[in-house]
Amino acid sequence: MSDSSQRPPFVAYIAREPISRVLQKDILGRSYVRFLPFLIAGLQLYTLGAVLGHAQRDKFEILANLLYDKPQPANELKSVTNDLTNLAKKRLDSCSKAPDSFFDLFMNTELKAAGLSFEMPLKEFQKTAKIKLLLKQQPGPTDMAEMFVMEGIAFGARFPGLTERLWKRSSEIDSGEWKKWRERGLDIGEQPTRMTLDEAEQEILRGVAIYVSQYYPELAEPLGLQLV
């Protein structure tokens, strides 16, 4: 095992780039994110986690070792994976209707928790969605982003069939619906991702394999992530 003092935490390693893209500083030098761009980054992280969890669904408890500095006993890994699964199930149960896409699953539940809705008048929605979230808040945006990754992994691992359906539907969203979301101020690109789930898994696994080879080489073989 590598020196844990030199090892970036796994979920922080994954969350770093999407969160860094939406970070800003105020006149006092405090780091913050705007609520809506933060949710877009959160959606990306949740979906990334779900794809990783789906790809590693038969090794979920082994994968959970990446959340710790050293290998954990089976009962601890089972406990943490159960806790994360309960979070994913809680989100699913909070949906007012069966979700049609990852956007639907994540964004609508997060907006609902914040007292927002896409059905609000446009000006009111955009004004409220510009709220600042300071990084030093507890829990801060960074902590929340890392939880999105972990919950997403559990969702993909424990709900593989639904993950496949939501991914497929996410890539089939029509241009009119996509345009409506962009008009609400969502920086989500011109078109939805058309990558297949298998292609997304291979891309994510390549990145995780590099991390594992550097920081958890003893887990490379059990996770099937040996670098060729």
The number of folded domains in the chain is 1
By three-state DSSP, how is residue 34 classified? Answer: strand
Tell me the pLDDT tens digit for each residue of 66-93. Answer: 998 888 899 999 999 999 999 999 999 9
Give domain status of residue 228, yes or no. no
Mean pLDDT of the chain: 85
Q: How confident is the model at residue 181 (pLDDT cuts 50, 70, 90)?
A: low
Tell me the pLDDT tens digit for each residue of 150-167. Answer: 999 999 999 999 999 999
Give domain status of residue 168, yes or no. yes
Are the CB atoms for 33 and 132 separated by under 8 Å? yes
Q: How confident is the model at residue 128 (pLDDT cuts 50, 70, 90)?
A: confident
Output the CA angle 73-16-217, nearest 5 degrees: 40
Residue 129 tokens read as 């969605």
What's the whole-number mean pLDDT along residues 133-143?
Answer: 69
Residue type, 55: A
Top-confidence residue, 110 or 4: 110
Say if residue 121's pLDDT is above 60.
yes
By three-state DSSP, how is residue 6 classified? Answer: helix
Are the CB atoms for 220 and 209 separated by under 8 Å? yes
* CB contact burial 159-170 (16+ within 10 A = b; e otherwise): bbebbeebbebb
Measure the CA dihedral 40/45/51/55, to 10°.
Answer: 180
Give domain status of residue 44, yes or no. yes
Ranges 56-65, 122-131, 169-178: which has the least confidence: 169-178
Ranges 93-102, 175-184, 208-217: which has the least confidence: 175-184
The per-type count for the chain, helices as H runs and strands as E runs, is 11, 3
Structural domain including 188 reads 4-223
Give domain status of residue 208, yes or no. yes
pLDDT at position 155, please?
98
Q: How confident is the model at residue 112 (pLDDT cuts 50, 70, 90)?
A: confident
Residue type, 129: A
pLDDT at position 162, please?
96
Per-position DSSP letters for 83-138, written without gaps between them: HHHHHHHHHHHH-SS--SSHHHHHHHHHHHHTT--TTS-HHHHHHHTT-EEETTSS
Are the CB atoms for 209 and 226 separated by under 8 Å? yes
Give domain status of residue 128, yes or no. yes
**What is the pTM assigned to this prediction?**
0.88
